[in-house]
A and B are shown apart, each in its own frame.
Chain A
C-alpha cells in the first residue's frame, strides 16, 4: 500500500509539473497597460452584425465584457471548463443547438473568455454558431 501511495504522489506531481509548464511556457499571457480593442458580435439568424471599439486597461476578455455589460449585455455561465458566453446583446444562445464561437483576428480562440488576453489592435468576434 505504501508503494501505491508513493506512485500516486508521483502521478500527481507529474501532472502538476505538466500543468505548471503549460502556464509558464504555452498559456496566452496578458498584456498590461492601456489597449484599444474591437468587439464584434455576429448573429446572422437575427440579422445582427455590430462592432464596438473600446479603450481598456483590463487584461482579459471576460473583464471587458463585465465592464461593458450595459452595452454588450453579455451573459456568462460558469462551467467545469471555465466561464463561457451564453448571451449577447439580449440574445441568449439555445445551448442544445448553438453557441457563441470566439475568434481573435479571424482565428478560433484556444481558451475561454476568462483566460483570453486582450491585446491592443485585435478584433474579438463572437459569432452565434450552430452546433
Chain B
C-alpha cells in the first residue's frame, strides 16, 4: 500500500468519481444503477482495502450531493450498504471468473437493498412503519434486483478484464 500510496489516492478518487458520474447519468431510470457493479468490480480487481475506500469516498460524494436534493436517513443506509457490498464481494466472490455468482450476489444485494433501511426505520419509527416501508418498496426492490442481476451477468466479466489490464499497467 505504501509503495503505491499516490496511485491509490488517485485511483480510488477517480473510481469513486466515475461511479458517482454513472449514478448521476442513470438517475432518471428508477432503481437501475451500475454503482453496485462498479464497486464490486473495483473490489475484485484492485483489492478489498481499495474497494472499501472507494465505497466510502463515493458515499461521501453522494452525501455532499444531498445539500442539493435534501438529506435523510438514507445517508446512514448508504454508509452501511456500499461498504457492506465490498465485504460481501470479498467473502462471496473469491473466484472472480464466476460471473453467474457475481450476478446472483448483486441481484440479491439489489433486492434486499432496503433491509438495513427498514432496520433504521424500525428503531426510529416502530415495526408498523418499517413493515409498511418494506411492503411499499417491493416493486422498486424487484426492479433493482433484476437490473443488478442483468447488468452483472453481461458486464461483470468485460469490466473485470479491462480493469485488470489497467491494474497490470499501473502496478507492474
Closest B residue to A11 by CB, please name it: B149
B146 pairs with A12, CB closer than 8 A? yes
Query: Which chain A residues lie closer than 8 Å to B103 at the CB level?
Result: 7, 11
**When the two chains form their complex, are residues B154 and A11 in contact, meaning their CB atoms are under 8 A apart?**
no
B80 to chain A, nearest CB (A): 21
Closest B-chain residue to A94, C-beta based? B70
Interface size classification for chain B: 20 to 34
A110's partner among B70, B136, B140 (CB-CB below 8 A) is B136
Contact A11 B150, beta carbon cutoff 8 Å: yes
Give the residues in chain B near A11, CB-CB below 8 Å: 103, 107, 145-146, 149-150, 153
Chain B residues 96 to 115 lying within 8 A of chain A, measured CB to CB, are 100, 103, 107
Interchain CB contact under 8 A, A26 and B138: yes
Task: Report yes or no: B142 in contact with A15, Cβ–Cβ below 8 A.
Answer: yes
Query: Given contacts A14-B146, A19-B142, A96-B70, is CB(A81)–CB(B30) below 8 Å?
Result: yes
State whether B149 touches A110 (Cβ < 8 A).
Answer: no
A4 to B140, CA, bound (A): 23
Question: Which of B133, B139, B143, B153 interacts with A8 by CB under 8 Å?
Answer: B153
Residues of B within 8 A of A (CB): 28-30, 68-72, 100, 103, 107, 128-129, 132-133, 135-136, 138-140, 142-143, 145-146, 149-150, 153-154
